[in-house]
Structure 1
Amino acid sequence: MIARGGCKVLELAILGALKEKPMYGYELKKRLSDLLGHLWKISYGSLYPALKRLESKSAVERAYTVKAKTRNRYVYRITPEGEEAFQRLLVDTRKRSEITDADKFSIRLAFFQYMEPEMRLWLLERRKNYLEERLNEMSGTSKSRYKDTDSYRQGLYTHRQELLKSDITWLEDMIESERDHIQESKKDKESKKDKETLTVEERGGEKLVIDDGSIKNMTPLQA
């Protein structure tokens, strides 16, 4: 469960959820529970103070009200300032715990679609390197530390190792997929650039070389 630095993490999650669409409090709480429920129990006691903080920073605003049976509901939406704040929080990994803490890493992973591909790849590789260090440490001390322990503790230790191996394998797949995505994007950009900078058309016995939409050269076609 997330504890230290929880305010910033909650603000990141709220801004990320509001990027999807404007929401009122109950709807926002439900969406955050769907996103973070396995990491953090979202309560109104933490949600509304966080919304108030974000409002004071002009990152969130009350767009309009929705009439309800008992009282009107405020619908919150992210502002341009909030968009900038979200991006800053999303890529702020100055603290090592943003990589090593599984919950904090998972929250960023939930909003990976809003990151640049190179940043996603960097975070995935950092997380994988950290888990590999953990696994190597466990493997190096397993024989001496658990030599005389009972089978239950040995089983727990083995289980932890298997979880680390599973996470590393999953990250390797994610990294490979991200690298492929980056390469494909580069190829698409290069192909698009080539088409924009040089287009050859044949018209009435002439070859028109068109650069960025304007004719740069005109030569007769060879018979």
Structure 2
Amino acid sequence: MLTLSILGFLYEQPTHAYELKRKISGLSGHIRPVSDGALYPAITRLEKAGHLTRHQEPGSGATPRQVLSLTPAGEKELMRRLAEPAEVEITDRNSFLTLLAFLGFLPDPADQVRVLRRRLEFYEEPASYFYDGDRPIRAVEMTDRFRKAMLTLAATTKKADMEWLRTTIKDLSDTAD
């Protein structure tokens, strides 16, 4: 999620690391705050891979700012990650939401549809937080009120997500024709 966020936000515009951290935190910080110990090594890895560059600009004080920019190789890597997301980016809600934040950068609606269909297919498989053997337990079967709430909220979210996915896939498919 961090790498995708870095590439995605730098695709929008060059920025300095502090501002990048603020943007990433805004996207997912309430769930997973971004620490300097995670951000700066990720930036260094992306720089070594040739996906971004740094240059200095004057800062508001005496210290110059390091501005990060995406390279053509970084843009290519972003498009690859968006078009071919890892399984966890489809199945994990927070990872999927990060992917969704940048999916509009894919220029071909057909590529966007392929990603959304993967998420819809994931949702169409029976699943639960709790199982009786191999059988998913449904909310109506749950006696613990808190676990029942988990299942009820998940089912409600899943239903809304599936509705949005189906509508968006149809709309994107219609524009691709």
Calculate the aligned-residue CA RMSD, in Å.
2.7
1:77–1:98 CA distance, 2 compared to 1 (3 A): same
The alignment status of 1:180 with 2:174, answered yes or no, reads yes
Given that residues 139 and 151 in structure 2 are in contact (C-alpha distance below 8 angstroms), is that contact kept between their aligned partners in structure 1? no
Segments of 5+ residues of structure 2 without an aligned counterpart are none
Q: Give the structure 2 partner of residue 160 of structure 1.
A: 154
The alignment status of 1:62 with 2:58, answered yes or no, reads no
Q: Give the structure 2 partner of residue 29 of structure 1.
A: 21
Q: Give the structure 1 partner of residue 100 of structure 2.
A: 109
Aligned-partner Cα distance in 2 for 1:128–1:16: 23
The count of corresponding residues between Structure 1 and Structure 2 is 172
Which structure has the larger Rg over C-alpha atoms? 1
Aligned runs of 1:87-106 on 2, under 5 Å? 87-93=79-85, 95-106=86-97
- Residue type of the alignment partner of 2:155: Q
Q: Give the structure 1 partner of residue 117 of structure 2.
A: 125
Structure 1 residue 50: Cα displacement: 1.1
Structure 1 residue 119: Cα displacement: 1.5
Q: Deviations over 1:10-56 (max 9, x none)?
A: 12211111111111111111122223334431222211111111111
Structure 1 residue 89: Cα displacement: 2.3
Given that residues 83 and 115 in structure 2 are in contact (C-alpha distance below 8 angstroms), is that contact kept between their aligned partners in structure 1? no
Aligned-partner Cα distance in 2 for 1:143–1:28: 40
Q: Give the structure 1 partner of residue 138 of structure 2.
A: 142
Aligned-partner Cα distance in 2 for 1:103–1:68: 35
Secondary structure class of the residue paired with 2:138: helix
Given that residues 139 and 152 in structure 2 are in contact (C-alpha distance below 8 angstroms), is that contact kept between their aligned partners in structure 1? no
Structure 1 residue 70: Cα displacement: 5.0
Aligned-partner Cα distance in 2 for 1:84–1:143: 43
Secondary structure class of the residue paired with 2:94: helix
Higher relative contact order (CA 8 A, sep 6+): 2
Structure 1 residue 174: Cα displacement: 1.6
Aligned-partner Cα distance in 2 for 1:150–1:103: 26
Given that residues 135 and 164 in structure 1 are in contact (C-alpha distance below 8 angstroms), is that contact kept between their aligned partners in structure 2? no
Aligned-partner Cα distance in 1 for 2:38–2:144: 43
The alignment status of 1:72 with 2:68, answered yes or no, reads no
Q: Sequence identity, in percent?
A: 34
Given that residues 126 and 136 in structure 2 are in contact (C-alpha distance below 8 angstroms), is that contact kept between their aligned partners in structure 1? no
TM-score when normalising by structure 2? 0.81
Segments of 5+ residues of structure 1 without an aligned counterpart are 1-8, 184-223
Q: Give the structure 2 partner of residue 43 of structure 1.
A: 35
